Amino acid sequence: MASLQVRELSVGYGPVRALRAVSLDVPEGAVVVVLGGNGAGKTTLLRAVSRTLAFHRGAVTGGGVTFDGTPLDGLAPARAVAAGVVQVPEGRQVFARMSVADNLRAGALGARAGSRADTARSLARVHELFPVLAKRARQRAGLLSGGEQQMLALGRALMARPRLLLLDEPSLGLAPKMAATIAATITEINASGTSVLLVEQNAALALRLASHAYVLEVGEVTLSGPAADLAASDEVRRRYLGITAEDAPPAHAAPTLRRWSA
């Protein structure tokens, strides 16, 4: 059963249509990736799920989103967080003047109902995943490196004890080694039972993490299928991995990918 179901979702910013009849599923416990270039609608999709569209003057104009069978449409963002849907925005957006410790405390404010012991366990888990955050608890977040700020953004989200984690370009601007560290952490978070919807321009990294993938182009799903099939697709390899047919090694018959038709 799908934990997250997006059905025929259309979104606009005033007269501009950003998403057109987008449908996708995130099964419970899965990592699902959405690929696409700039302006494809990837961030808009996450905002629609996390209920933060209104902050950016966007609105759902059709379709809807359900999480574990409960409609998210009409919920305030805080209610979505309380339901277990938590987003890590593009660009990290940590509270630069606040300490690392206070950033993490802020993440726990909207957490699902729980005890102080639950919050303490969440903090211990964050420090286990990112020991540097424990070492720099009193340091201002704005003084961390880009990679450390991404760790803090992830840690802040984990303080809310998410059941579904929405990640918007977590490798953006990071050195390859740090991007690989973040990717390994996402795998570990998922292994603990948290579902992940990942938006990512680094297609090679994303397809290694995910079990299923969707390609968004100009607000519409144009390809979808198992991540391994998309990784083997000549079209995806050419457009998102930078590999031409001449570069690619000999392969068996290419998988047939499902094209979306509204």
pLDDT in tens, 134-149: 999 999 999 999 999 9
**Structure confidence at residue 249 (pLDDT):** 46
Backbone angles phi, psi at 24, to 5 degrees: -160, 160
CA 95 vs CA 119, 134, 197, 208: distances in Å: 20, 17, 24, 31
CATH of the domain at 142: 3.40.50.300
Whether residue 188 is contained in a domain is answered as yes
CA 51 vs CA 1, 230, 245, 259: distances in Å: 22, 29, 41, 27
Q: Report the alpha-carbon distance of residue 3 to residue 192 in Å, rounded.
A: 16
Q: For 25-34, what is each residue's pLDDT tens digit?
A: 999 999 999 9
Whether residue 255 is contained in a domain is answered as no
Which residue matches tokens 């990294």?
205
Q: Report the alpha-carbon distance of residue 197 to residue 30 in Å, rounded.
A: 8
Q: For 6-18, what is each residue's pLDDT tens digit?
A: 999 999 999 999 9
Whether residue 52 is contained in a domain is answered as no
CA 202 vs CA 17, 50, 199: distances in Å: 25, 22, 9
State whether the Cα torsion 66-69-72-73 is positive or negative.
positive
The domain of 191 spans 2-46+58-241
From first to last of its 262 residues, the chain has per-residue pLDDT tens of: 459 999 999 999 999 999 999 999 999 999 999 999 889 999 999 999 999 999 999 999 999 999 999 999 989 999 999 999 999 988 878 999 999 999 999 998 877 766 778 889 999 999 999 999 999 999 999 999 999 999 999 999 999 999 999 999 998 888 899 999 999 999 999 999 999 999 988 888 999 999 999 999 999 999 999 999 999 888 888 888 776 545 444 444 445 555 543 3
Which residue matches tokens 């007269």?
15
CB-based contact 224:46 (threshold 8 Å): no
Whether residue 247 is contained in a domain is answered as no
Q: How many structural domains compose the chain?
A: 1
**Structure confidence at residue 243 (pLDDT):** 65
Whether residue 75 is contained in a domain is answered as yes
Sheet bearing 220-226, strands edge to edge: 85-88, 164-168, 195-199, 31-35, 212-217, 220-226
Whether residue 23 is contained in a domain is answered as yes
**Structure confidence at residue 233 (pLDDT):** 87
Whether residue 191 is contained in a domain is answered as yes
CB-based contact 161:194 (threshold 8 Å): no
Whether residue 183 is contained in a domain is answered as yes
